[in-house]
Each structure stands twice: as C-alpha cells, then as structure tokens.
C-alpha cells in the first residue's frame, strides 16, 4: 500500500473539526458509561479470591459451578482455558469475596478429591487491591510525564502536549469499550494499555518527525495555510507506513485473541482496540491538534511583533 502526495486528493486537515467532534462524542459517551455502568473490575483491583483448577478431563462452566455448590460456594465468574478446556479459573469478588482459611482448605480438599489435582488459590485483600489500582494509575502517569519530557526535548512542547492528548484519547477509548463489553479489567489490561501507549507514541513520533522535516524545506511559514499544507503532506506521506504497520500488528493481536485462550483474552482484546484507536489518533488527532496550537502560537507571535514595532 502506498500513497503519492502529488497524485493524492486526500485532505485530512480540511476535516479536522469532524475528527475533533467524533472524538469529543466518544469521550462524552465514555464518561456517561463510566459514571453509570462502570467497569467490571477483576480481583486485581477489588478484593477477592481466584481459584485455578486443573482436571484430567474437559471441564464446563456448569460442572465447575456444580462442584463449588457441593461445598456451599458460588463463584462470581468461571473462565475455561487450555486446548481441551481442562483448566478453569473461578473468581469470588462479590458475596463470599475473600475466602477464609477454612474455606480455602475446604476447596483444596474437595477439588483434590474430585479432580485429582490440588487447585492453586490466590487472594487479594482490599488493601492490596487499592495498592495495585494506585500503582497502575501511577504507572500510566509516569509514562505520560516521561513521554512529554522526551518529546519536548526531541521536538518542542506543543508536540509533546499533542502526543499526550492523543495517548489519553487512546487509553480512554479502550476503557470505554471495556465499559460497554463489561470484560474483566485486570493486570493484563493495564499491560495492554501501557503497550498501546508505547506503540501509539512511536506512530505519532514518526508523523511529527515527517512534519518537522517538511517544515525545514519551507522557506517561510506565515500562518495556518502554510502549516496545514505541510501537515497534510506529512500525513499522506506517512499514511501507508501507518496502515501497513498497524495491520501487521493487528493480525498478531487477532491471532492471540482467537487462539490465545481465556487467560490472555483480555490482554489481546485491549491490544486490538488500542491499535485501532492509536492509529486513528496519530493520524487524525495529534497532528491536527499540533497544527491548531502552532498556528495560534504563530499568530500571537506576529501580533506581539507588530505591537512592539508600533
């Protein structure tokens, strides 16, 4: 796939307001969903217990629920894994929540007798859950600050701020989709978000680098029209690279989602959604925001120069 700027009639800058409105609507819808429906937080961010079961025969969710019912417990969720569904992950969040030591011993004895393999049981207390959630939030914030500092040194502050807005857009888009689908939000989800942050900033940097290169060829940049021409030219020149790159990664993420099993389904799905959002924001949000802010900066500088000369 290739796009020749000289032959192309694409004009991304002309439709920038449509992109801003579309993204603004997504943010509003996401905010409404998060304040009403919320997220399906896993035990990584809530207190609870996860029981990992292994059997010599194929399992079904109904069979797992029945086995727990025999000892008076009801898991909130059961996920099957393995080629023959011989593994199952049962989580307790609401209701029983964190199982007591007596209940854990009861679960171990029962499934050891039923399946012949002692289950692996892990618990997350409310304190650990809050600490994991706080650390996940800090990791995203520190990553964002590091990106702003790097891009500001490598380019300039406006590039860095535009890149961060685009990254926040990507992260919020993933969170919104998870609020709609009610898929479990756990530590693999955070890993996927941080992976997308790294991928998306790389894609954005490539576009910014081309803008800076094309700007260096301009004899004089007078205002918005000159900047818009450079930005549109740069976006068309990098469009084929962006599409080809993301398609390659999308195929890998889709393979993980289809064949990776339940254990990494959350990670693969978040990765897939983030790749689409990251490519969209790199092409239609980051560069367009920089264009608007840079043109206003040039305009202010021109007015200030005129006032000093008057």
pLDDT of residue 129: 66
pLDDT of residue 2: 57
Boundaries of every domain in the chain: 13-41+127-309, 48-124
Count of Cβ atoms closer than 10 Å to residue 55 Cβ = 21
- How far is residue 214 CA from its own chain's centroid? 31
Give the span between the Cα atoms of 235 and 41, in whole angstroms. 38
Task: State both tokens at 261.
Answer: 């099993």
Q: Are 278 and 197 in contact (CB under 8 A)?
A: no
Class level of CATH domain 48-124: alpha beta
pLDDT of residue 272: 92
Residue 135 burial (10 A CB sphere; 0-12, 13-18, 19+): exposed
Give every strand in the sheet of 48-54, ordered side by side. 77-81, 87-92, 48-54, 120-124
Percentage of residues in the chain with pLDDT exceeding 90? 15
Q: Which residues of the chain have pLDDT under 70?
A: 1-8, 94-97, 126, 129, 310
- CATH code: domain 13-41+127-309 is 1.20.1640.10
pTM for the complete prediction?
0.76
Helix (H) or strand (E) holding 41: strand 40-41
Strand bridging mode 87-92 / 120-124: unpaired
pLDDT of residue 94: 59
User: H helices of the chain, where?
Assistant: 16-36, 61-70, 101-115, 126-154, 157-181, 187-217, 224-259, 265-281, 287-309
DSSP reduced 3-state for 85? coil
Tell me the backbone φ, ψ of residue 115, rounded to 5 degrees: -105, -10
Residue 142 burial (10 A CB sphere; 0-12, 13-18, 19+): exposed
């Amino acid at each position: 796939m290739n796009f020749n700027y000289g032959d192309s009639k694409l004009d991304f800058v002309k439709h920038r307001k449509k992109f801003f409105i579309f993204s603004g609507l997504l943010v509003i819808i996401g905010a409404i969903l998060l304040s009403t429906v919320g997220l399906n937080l896993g035990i990584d961010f809530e207190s609870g217990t996860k029981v990992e079961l292994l059997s010599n025969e194929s399992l079904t969710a109904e069979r797992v629920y029945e086995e727990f019912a025999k000892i008076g417990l009801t898991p909130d969720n059961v996920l099957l894994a393995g080629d023959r569904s011989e593994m199952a992950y049962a989580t307790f969040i609401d209701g029983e929540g964190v199982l007591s030591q007596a209940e854990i011993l009861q679960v171990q004895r029962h499934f050891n007798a039923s399946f012949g393999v002692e289950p692996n049981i892990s618990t997350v207390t409310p304190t650990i859950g809050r600490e994991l959630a706080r650390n996940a939030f800090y990791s995203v914030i520190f990553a964002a600050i590091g990106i702003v500092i790097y891009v500001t040194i490598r380019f300039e502050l406006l590039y860095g701020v535009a890149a961060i807005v685009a990254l926040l857009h990507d992260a919020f888009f993933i969170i919104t989709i998870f609020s709609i689908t009610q898929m479990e939000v756990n530590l693999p989800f955070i890993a996927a978000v941080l992976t997308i942050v790294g991928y998306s900033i790389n894609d954005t940097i490539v576009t910014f680098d081309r803008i800076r290169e094309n700007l260096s060829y301009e004899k004089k940049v007078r205002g918005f029209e000159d900047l818009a021409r450079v930005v549109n030219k740069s976006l068309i020149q990098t469009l084929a690279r962006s599409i080809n790159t993301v398609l390659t990664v999308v195929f890998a993420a889709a393979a993980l989602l289809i064949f990776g099993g339940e254990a990494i389904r959350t990670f693969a799905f978040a990765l897939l959604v983030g790749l689409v959002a990251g490519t969209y924001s790199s092409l239609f949000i980051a560069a367009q925001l920089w264009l608007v802010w840079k043109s206003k900066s040039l305009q202010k500088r021109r007015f200030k120069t005129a006032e000093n000369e008057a």
